[in-house]
A and B are shown apart, each in its own frame.
Chain A
Amino acid sequence: MPFLKSLKIIALFQRRILPLALVLSIPVLFLSGGHFQFSGYSVLFLSLGLHYWTYNHKRPEAYYYYYNLGFSPVLLWASTLGLGLILLLISYLA
């Protein structure tokens, strides 16, 4: 599968996770007095929680669109964890 298409599929999977995690972490940024690291951690944990809530709890059958494209549960969880860690790293660099 071309790399670009894989990225598009991951983006489709993440569209209900990452944007919401980012929005929800804005109050954390203010409450922590502008410490980006706190915000970075909140994005990481919120995205893992939202992943579980959206796909495992609310609509498990939605996984099958991605399974049929060859994306395993491990890969989908890794995408959430990986993106969260990247944003955490960015928060340390900011």
Chain B
Amino acid sequence: MKTLHVDSIRKSFQNRVILSDIYLTCNQGEIVGLLGRNGMGKSTLLKIIFGSEKADQKFVRAGSRIVRNITDGRKLINYLPQENFMPNGVRIQKLIDLFLEPQHRQGILEHDYIKPLLYKKNGDLSGGERRIVEILLLLHSKADFLLLDEPFNGLSPVLRDYICEYIRQLTPQKGIIISDHDYVNIIKLSDRMLLLKDGHLREVKAHTELVELGYLPKSHS
């Protein structure tokens, strides 16, 4: 079983420390929920782990490989950004063929949600359809670890539930760090929850702690 090991991440921006001495681990087969208020640096943290954002200091190891940049993390770590990332003007089938190895394609090509979209171009899909294609692309990829940044963005409640269930089914093969403002689904889905606040990451054991730490309003306690 591989472990994603993240240590000593520091990031500052215009003399403001956004991330300070961040340490976290994620094992294959584990889902780690990452919560935090807007602007606390959740996306920045995920991008630093993935390698697309520079940090003042970082150490990331996936399994036995040290990940310094995107190329080091190839086939080990994939990242779902908040915005739709697939190229426009290209058929979904082609994007899937290029993105996935032949042995990983079958599951997605025969998927009920994807099948009707295969011959459409990305630009012709709705925001929700694009999102579901992207999530499934990543879930079916070879990567051992997935960093999902607001995956439920633009998805209807039914699809959110479906994606939660789908992620659960695939968990034994992957380690997932998931961040979203839909905290109900994050709490439901996660094996462990972390809260990013004032540049520091702390483990949250109970729902009430989220209220105490100011993430949820007191009316939610």
Contacts and interface: CB of A to CB of B under 8 A. Distances in A.
Interface of A: 1, 5, 8-9, 12-13, 15-16, 59, 61-65, 67-73, 75
A72 B69 CA distance: 8
Given A61-B81, A62-B85, A67 B50 contact: yes
A9 B85 CA distance: 15
8 contacts: A15-B89, A16-B89, A61-B83, A61-B85, A64-B85, A65-B87, A68-B143, A70-B75
Given A61-B83, A64-B79, A71 B70 contact: yes
Nearest to B75: A70
A61 B98 contact: no
Interface string B42-73: 00000000111000000000000000011101
Nearest to B141: A68
A65 B74 contact: no
Interface of A is mostly: helix
B99 interface: yes
Contacts of B98: 5, 8-9, 12, 69
Q: Which of A9, A13, A64 has the most CB of B within 10 A?
A: A64
B138 interface: yes
B84 interface: yes
B17 interface: no
B189 interface: no
Given A67-B50, A72-B70, A62 B78 contact: no
Given A8-B98, A72-B69, A72-B71, A64 B87 contact: no
